[in-house]
A and B are shown apart, each in its own frame.
Chain A
Amino acid sequence: MTYTQLAVLGVLIAIVLDLYVFKTKLLRRRVFWVSYSIVIFFQLVTNGILTGFGIVEYDGAAIIGSTTPQNEPPTFIGDGRLVYAPIEDLLFGFSLVLLSLIIWIWLGKKGIQREPMAGPPRKSVHRFLGIK
């Protein structure tokens, strides 16, 4: 299978695990989508470094875009890439993050270190978070 196929499959499996197997239903929660939007921003930054400098290189046969060129960075946006990284990486990242949170929440539901729960934020960051 190509990376494109595996990446789509990975997302589908993660969705099924969340909604029907572990029933964590994170995909229906605001806390998931807000934190995922923060994560995806930083993924673009860090993955941009890994792929833009050619630390990780891709074979054009496995992705929508073309092979990472030698001695120059890949396309910044376009040719199946977003901030140097193949768009497949966004799907890979989504399933990595979702699977991690599914297991984390599932363990909490089972009572494994449910406590201490997160929060509250320290007073010193209240203004920064818009907390009155």
Chain B
Amino acid sequence: MSKFAYLSVLLGCLVGTAWLEFFLRTKVYRRAVRLILTILPVVVVFSIWDAYAIAQGHWTFDPRYVTGITTVANIPLDEILFFIVIPICAILSFEAVRSARNWEAGDEETK
């Protein structure tokens, strides 16, 4: 356990889902513009929630296990990365299920 404990969990999430892009051809990273446009508002909204929760003391971070780098409103860098990594993993899982089962997801070309 170290200052990189939190980051290691996030890295594990990225590594654990990366194979989907290749084997299920999720094409999520390949659609990088759409991915970035998705993540940006999510990071903003959840950072506001995080900032409030940190200010109110809803949750705290053990300084031994986070990088110690803080961004705006006392939000640890680790948390910002969480709000980037988890949406990526969720979208990869979603597109993987769609790829495997060929189910409609609502963004198909309307005929």
Q: Is there contact, CB below 8 Å, between B107 and A119?
A: no
Interface residues on B, range: 35 or more
Give residues of chain B (25-42) contacting chain A, Cβ–Cβ below 8 Å.
Answer: 25-28, 30-31, 33-35, 37-39, 41-42
Among A29, A99, A101, A106, point to the contact of B104 (Cβ < 8 A).
A29
**Chain A min CB distance to B26 (Å):** 5
Contact with B along A95-110 (1 / 0, CB 8 A): 0110111011111110
Interface residues on A, range: 35 or more
Which residue on chain B has the smallest CB distance to residue A110? B107
Q: Is there contact, CB below 8 Å, between A29 and B105?
A: yes
Among A3, A56, A107, A122, point to the contact of B25 (Cβ < 8 A).
A122
Task: Judge whether B111 is part of the interface by a CB distance below 8 angstroms.
Answer: no
State in angstroms the CA–CA spacing of A117 and B30 once bound together. Answer: 10
Q: Is there contact, CB below 8 Å, between B5 and A55?
A: yes
Interface on chain A toward B: helix, strand, loop, or mixed SS?
Answer: helix
Among B33, B49, B53, B100, point to the contact of A121 (Cβ < 8 A).
B100
Contact with A along B1-20 (1 / 0, CB 8 A): 10001100100110010000
* Contact flag A121-B37 (CB < 8 Å), given A96-B86, A105-B105, A114-B107: no
A residues less than 8 Å from B9 (CB atoms): 46, 49-50, 55
Contact with B along A36-61 (1 / 0, CB 8 A): 00110010001001100111111101
- Residues of chain A having any CB pair with chain B under 8 Å: 2-3, 6, 10, 24-26, 29-32, 34-35, 38-39, 42, 46, 49-50, 53-59, 61-63, 93, 96-97, 99-101, 103-109, 112-114, 116-122, 124-125, 129, 131
